[in-house]
Structure 1
């Protein structure tokens, strides 16, 4: 077995050996079970990909550093997505006269609502419909798929692509700054 394969094997073993400790650490950083699993998966992949660069005597600490970096990245993405979801939801006209919706809509500036409406208008009709149904109407993806007569995977893909397009839109990038 060559040196790189041996180190890679040690890294893989460390990922298994320290899984519980790393997940507990990630739980403390992220405070979200779903994000913990995602961060751990990304940590394992990054560790295996970069295994040639690790000092064999420092694998545990190195693994925790990768986990911390992944947790920070996921936390940034999660916060950005939460702000985006909130802005999309608040920019749309309320579907009911619920007082909570009215109060939240007043918190969002006219400029923010205009930016989100513009970004939404640039989405394809299917993408926009999925975003509105999911974020404003609170429908599950299964219900959206059934009502649109589309496979669930298609609806999930449309939502992911729509959010990516919204995240990259110039109007919403300006709001983030």
Structure 2
């Protein structure tokens, strides 16, 4: 006995419905899902729901004998072939929605991971570049380094730097020019735009 035979309907009305419509329903599901194993799972789930609904309706409307139920084979307590296909179609739609959600989740997760890796890489590169610039800045003479630090780190204007250091504005500008040239030489070959 296969695992699917265990799930097959157990009474004569269900057996009759299964025998009459399982082949067509399976073909519909294979065409819709393009996966025979998944189609078989959905087929079994559809007949499981059929059996549950049939039992629920039987209890609600009084229990009928198997003979009376088989006489109502076209409707089976109001459960028609259309009902079976509608349940199967709903199951297919649910599986496809789940698959789409999972694929979207996987894509978003992949995008997030790649952004994090890129961000980590960018942060490491930026930190390394900052370290190289700090090292080059330390190599400058104190007079040049002071002008650069006040301009870049303190964000002072050149006139404010001249006032702060008590030196002429022209001297501040020439020191800044010489400091930038020295930094450019020290950092030659290093791509600071990355």
Q: TM-score, normalised by structure 1?
A: 0.38
| Structure whose CA Rg is larger | 2
Q: TM-score, normalised by structure 2?
A: 0.36
